[in-house]
Amino acid sequence: MLKGIPQILSPELLKVLCEMGHSDRLVISDGNFPAESMGKDAVVIRCDGHGVPEILDAILKVFPLDTYVDKPMNLMEVMPGDDVETPIWDTYKEIVSKYDKRGAGAVGNIERFKFYDESKTAYAIIATSEKALYANVMLQKGVVTE
């Protein structure tokens, strides 16, 4: 156990977050995301039993977002024709606002298949049990300045 580190961040996940450098990307995926097939060239970490919001909040406590890009946090866009509500996105924007002065302005959207393509180049993918649809998040790491 460590002081000041959220308990939900496992030793394996902390190691990966520390290994990541500036501009490396991390995907926090919902339960329907094909984490293993997208993450063939990435580290895939299972966080079964947890949802994306609690993992996102814990990670952003220790993980700076990239200040050199406009949207260091991206969500998977809803496919045209899908009648899906995404209230979880509001939760994500509240969470990022606690850790990044840009708040919701740091959050962008990526078309579904482009999100998949970009996920294949991520350093790591965290697979959660999140049941909300279109709940995937991609973070781009910034520089630690403190």
Query: Which residues are catalytically annotated?
Result: 22, 66, 116
Which helix H or strand E contains 89, and what residues bound it? helix 88-99
Instruction: Say which amino acid occupies 106.
Output: A
The CA distance from 131 to 114, in Å, is 22
- The Cα–Cα gap between 76 and 135 comes to 7
**Per-residue exposure over 23-43, b if at least 16 CB sit within 10 Å of its own CB, e if not:** ebbbbbbbbebebeebbeebb
